[in-house]
């Protein structure tokens, strides 16, 4: 093994360290990401890595991050704008490390399995919290929505892996992790995640088996069991009932915040109030007099947050990026029937559903995971041994 190969191996194990700690300790996860980044710099000085990337995924991402950088330059508050841009781009290092230095499908599979180990520890701790009375369990983190965002990505991925013959040797283990993830999701208590999973799992069954008729009985039985569970557990029943109760404070406050964000956009339609300046404008000009949650710092919705802070320019770039990812991952599934495409499509759709009631694009832990999963998918799907003949790939 030469020096380049040693460095590539060390970078891979740094990513494995991140995978094993991302749900448990932010400090430990950051340490492994920084270590991998330092090794990557050394490795790049010795020999520039060759990155093969599908243009249809990368170009919308470059457009989005370029647009955010451009909007930061015209912001009235450079400090707030730079903080927001750094928040968006700083989480991309695992994405870049995976794209540049992981060249074997076996490495991607190992990385995903290591992530499930970290997820299992987080699930068990969240369940422990729930059993001790914390019905908004955030596991090792202090942000309930961050943990919810991790679950909404991994539950559909695990669900497909359990169905897929390629993961046959790990099926019992993956089913074990999936079961505990669902239980942890219930104790996490994030209603939009319950909705997302309830939509995604039946949809994935239909897509995987390509037949509504074949899976319909399973869906009906599952709905009956869920109904029995919700009606027999007072905590779940009470929480589910609040979904349509507009007098419930969480619901009413979100509506007020959405109206405030829309007002910001109407007053600043082209470029918004400025990157990172939503908290200032909300607190000083746009907060509803009826609002009770007066310290909110975001709009609890990705689309309205983008409209408020970046106007039509940033909103369009964001929609193009996320829409392209959804479209091309689903298109890859239709053309290849490769379950990795279906996994990533489902994870993206889960993130999108969550974004309807929370600004999850601003959550560092879950979005760093999302873009890492994206790079893992792109490498697994488009490595030379698995690339389609007509793939549009740009080498840089």
pLDDT for residue 331 is more than 70: yes
Q: pLDDT tens digit string along 181-220? A: 999 999 999 999 999 999 999 999 999 998 888 888 888 8
User: What are the φ/ψ torsions at residue 52 (nearest 5 degrees)?
Assistant: -105, 115
Residues in the chain: 396
Q: For the chain, how many helices (H) and strands (E)?
A: 16, 2
Predicted model pTM: 0.93
Mean pLDDT of 247-272: 94
CA 31 – CA 39 distance, rounded (Å): 12
Mean pLDDT over each residue of the chain, to the nearest integer: 92
Q: pLDDT tens digit string along 19-35? A: 999 999 999 999 999 99
Could you tell me which of 83, 131, 97 has the C-alpha nearest to residue 16?
Answer: 97
Could you tell me which of 326, 353, 221, 271 has the C-alpha nearest to residue 67?
Answer: 271
User: What are the φ/ψ torsions at residue 391 (nearest 5 degrees)?
Assistant: -70, 135
| Dihedral class, residue 48 (left if φ above 0, else alpha if ψ from -120 to 50, else beta) | beta
| Dihedral class, residue 392 (left if φ above 0, else alpha if ψ from -120 to 50, else beta) | beta
Between the alpha carbon of residue 147 and those of residues 133, 191, 195, 380, the distances in Å are 17, 13, 16, 25
Angle between helices 3-21 and 105-131 (to 10 degrees): 20
- Computed on alpha carbons and rounded to an integer, the radius of gyration of the chain in Å comes to 21
């Amino acid at each position: 093994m030469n020096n380049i190969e040693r460095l590539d191996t060390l970078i891979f194990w740094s990513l494995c360290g991140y995978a094993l700690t991302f749900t448990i300790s932010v400090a430990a996860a950051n340490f492994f990401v920084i270590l991998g980044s330092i090794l990557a710099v050394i490795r790049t000085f010795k020999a520039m890595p060759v990155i093969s990337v599908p243009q249809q995924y990368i170009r919308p991402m470059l457009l989005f991050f370029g647009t955010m950088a451009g909007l930061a330059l015209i912001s009235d508050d450079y400090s707030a704008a730079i903080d927001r841009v750094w928040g968006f781009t700083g989480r991309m290092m695992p994405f870049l490390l995976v794209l540049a230095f992981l060249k074997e499908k076996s490495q991607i599979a190992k990385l995903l399995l290591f992530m499930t180990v970290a997820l299992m520890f987080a699930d068990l701790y969240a369940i422990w919290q729930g059993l001790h009375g914390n019905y908004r369990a955030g596991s090792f983190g202090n942000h309930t929505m961050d943990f919810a965002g991790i679950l909404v990505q991994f539950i559909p991925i695990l669900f497909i892996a359990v169905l897929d013959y390629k993961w046959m040797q790990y099926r019992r283990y993956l089913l074990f992790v999936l079961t505990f993830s669902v239980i942890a999701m219930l104790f996490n208590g994030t209603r939009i995640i319950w909705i997302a999973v309830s939509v995604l799992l039946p949809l994935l069954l239909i897509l995987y088996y390509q037949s509504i008729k074949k899976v319909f009985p399973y869906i009906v039985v599952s709905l009956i069991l869920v109904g029995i569970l919700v009606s027999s557990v007072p905590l779940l029943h009470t929480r589910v009932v609040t979904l349509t109760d507009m007098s419930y404070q969480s619901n009413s406050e979100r509506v007020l915040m959405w109206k405030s964000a829309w007002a910001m956009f109407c007053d600043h339609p082209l470029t918004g109030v400025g990157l990172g300046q939503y908290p200032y404008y909300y607190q000083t000009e746009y907060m509803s007099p009826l609002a009770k949650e007066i310290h909110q710092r975001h709009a609890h919705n990705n689309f309205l947050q983008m409209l408020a802070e970046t106007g039509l320019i940033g909103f369009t770039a964001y929609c193009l990026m996320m829409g392209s990812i959804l479209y091309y991952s689903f298109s890859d599934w239709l053309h290849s029937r490769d379950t990795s495409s279906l996994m990533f499509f489902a994870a993206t759709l889960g993130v999108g559903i969550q974004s309807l009631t929370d600004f999850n694009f601003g959550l560092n832990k879950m979005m760093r995971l999302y873009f890492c999963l994206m790079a893992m998918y792109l490498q697994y799907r488009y490595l030379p041994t698995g690339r389609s003949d007509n793939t549009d790939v740009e080498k840089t």
